[in-house]
Structure 1
């Protein structure tokens, strides 16, 4: 797996959209709907269904595992990075808590990052520029070069 690090939006990595979600289960389908709606005008060549699946998994993880002593939100942002699409999911919590598992066939949980690892060109987990954790993925060839 290739690791890469989130950067602030720049001319080389223009910000395409963002959403802020409440940390509850209803935010997962909302994230799917909003991403589809907001990415459509950019006409990506990559599988939006794959992106929605990965966003769904990461928002689910953020809602399930994010922790803070005060009120908090999950933030999802997406950027164009050359011909690639980069999506970041930010939440409170410790980066050390993010780990890739290899679930057994009969496990009912633990497939989120496994799916992201299988579908994305690369992914990264680390400190968020907002505090807490960011888990992000890169989808190659989202637009013509």
Structure 2
């Protein structure tokens, strides 16, 4: 079980306002968004060198707060980790006693993902790319 490319996904009701803020103030640039069309976007990936931040609508069915909220408080962000096999990783973490909050499930953007909870109940998203076609709209 390997993990790579840690990133934070921040929930916001106005993706473009927050993307403009990180772009103008901190020098990030938009690398990817889903879907490309029509508006509104549900996910935006911002990068700064090797680092990345993802912005998500709080009501996106797989990346939003609803499937990943645990404990008494809604999550305002999620730590996301890429793994080589989401299903096998979730099976192992479940066997180790970690609560599985959602999935594994396929997302139309071409990711397989799941959410587990850390010891304080915060969600951690595990994902890997399942397709190289489909809705990939990278703007490099």
- What range is the shorter-chain TM-score in? 0.3 to 0.5
- Structure number with the higher helix fraction is 1
- What TM-score do the two structures reach when normalised by structure 1? 0.38
- What TM-score do the two structures reach when normalised by structure 2? 0.39
- Structure number with the higher strand fraction is 2
